[in-house]
Copies of this chain bind each other. A is one copy, B any other.
């Protein structure tokens, strides 16, 4: 930790800061510049809020120099994490595509979806059985019946199942049916849920919150890793900005940023990232070109009649065309699809 004192800070102010650092078990190194005195501290930085020092008298600013996340840091595993689920590897040379409808609506719909996405080259089917909806008057999902349909549709087509868990109480049920448990953007900082997911032995797909920094995403991953579950993959799905022509602004640069700071696989969800079908395809291409380890794409056999998020779901033939384009792009980053 580094504390920079104000120009003209008094000796008494400097000493008060040093005393406070020592009390918190930092060892302190003082360096007196021509204008600013700087105090370097080695100690329990992870638990400290730098603002606590910034409001002390005579302090100009305070910087933490150790990352607040340890296990999610690239230094912890410089070669990168590869998560194996069945015979699929996430974070390896192949860019993995997970696709399917926003919600499981009925047996017919999910079975058709699974067949269509498998044929185009997806490795997993995604679909929600429990739906977080901004309005209490919107469709809320089929629950366990939906999970069963999803599992059957996946098995019939050799696919993995990815589905969202909304509450710790749903975990035992989810474990019976799904291969990857997804944590949605709204729950990225639902710490009770993260702590429970740390205890399971199935991979977790953690989505970035719409106002979360990359550092906060990595800190949320740290909750799962530090509890003993090392199979965490991350996902960019759009952040909130002033721009209104798309639902969110998909932060493609978060992909190379996460790859640099962390060893965890990084996926992208261009469907939620844009909210509009006509933007999904260009943004899916962009994500792979920027180095994403995989994609989550919403595909629906009849998007105009979807019970949720139809506007951002691709038609099956659009998805197949996208897969063709990705097969051209992936070699530019040394990957396959």
Contact = CB atoms under 8 A, between A and B. Distances in A.
Contact of A249 (B135, B186, B241, B245): B241
A93 interface: no
Contact of A332 (B51, B192, B213, B285): B285
A309 B49 contact: yes
A107 interface: no
Given A290-B286, A329-B329, A249 B249 contact: yes
B245 A239 contact: no
Copies in the complex: 4
Interface stretch (A118-126, A151-159, A215-223): A215-223
A227 B273 CA distance: 31
Contacts of A252: 250, 252, 282-283, 286
Interface in A192-250: 192, 195, 209-211, 213-216, 219-220, 222-223, 226-227, 239-247, 249-250
Nearest to A38: B40
Given A31-B40, A49-B311, A65-B38, A283 B56 contact: no
A216 B244 CA distance: 11
Interface in A309-326: 309-312, 325-326
B132 A189 contact: yes
B66 A63 contact: no
A12 to B, nearest CB: 15
Interface stretch (A1-9, A79-87, A109-117, A173-181): A1-9
10 contacts: A34-B42, A52-B304, A132-B191, A136-B219, A137-B226, A245-B257, A249-B251, A250-B253, A253-B273, A328-B332
